[in-house]
Amino acid sequence: MTGGTGGIGKATAIGLSTLGARVAITGRDEARARAAAGIARETGNSAVDVFAADMSSQAEVRRLAGELLAAYPRLDVLVNHVGGFWAHRHLTADGLEHTFALNHLAPFLLTNLLLDRLKQSTPARVVTVSSGAQAMGKIDFDDLMGEQKYSGQRAYNQSKLAKFVFTYELARRLDGTGVTATVLHPGVVRTAFGAEDSTAMMGALTFDRG
């Protein structure tokens, strides 16, 4: 479960842990990852593992994938949840536009790095959390990184649409393998979503739309 330290991600991790699953969550840093202790206390299931990784960094995603593969001989479910909204344009350590890098490229890369293990663990599934905002999205291949014109909402919508496109194609390619791929809109939930760098409107709403 990427992004399992708060909001929808943490609620999902709690749900899976309550069912008795061994749950691995990611947090951007160790401080955020301490949320795992709360999950274990709340569910009575101590099988909660924590992995710290800045998912906006492709090197960190690759490191995380290596740690997961070393830790788990089988993977039953991968939940790609981590994401965010930024009103202003930021670049990652790789020089990529932050919204697209975190919301789409991170789950794209992690899923592909873990795909062989998932196939070996069938039946298995990949669940990717997107947003209803994808319906307003358009993938601008001529300005994918928002260098010419940037809008936080446009970048967010584009990244969520990319998740849908990726998942539908992944599902097609995985047909018959025993691994399913699903993408979803979780609905509107009150969390601290968008609080790091938000417009006044988003700061007031603080809703997590996935």
Residues recognised as catalytic: 156
Q: Are 35 and 54 in contact (CB under 8 A)?
A: no
Residue with tokens 């947090």, as numbered in its chain: 27
Q: Are 103 and 158 in contact (CB under 8 A)?
A: no
Residue with tokens 């492709």, as numbered in its chain: 58
Within 8 A by CB and 6+ apart from 26, the residues are 1, 2, 3, 4, 5, 33, 50, 51, 52, 53, 55, 64, 82
Chain centre to alpha carbon of residue 167:
13
Quote the tokens at residue 188: 């509107």
| Number of C-beta neighbours around residue 197 at 10 A | 16
Q: Are 142 and 100 in contact (CB under 8 A)?
A: no
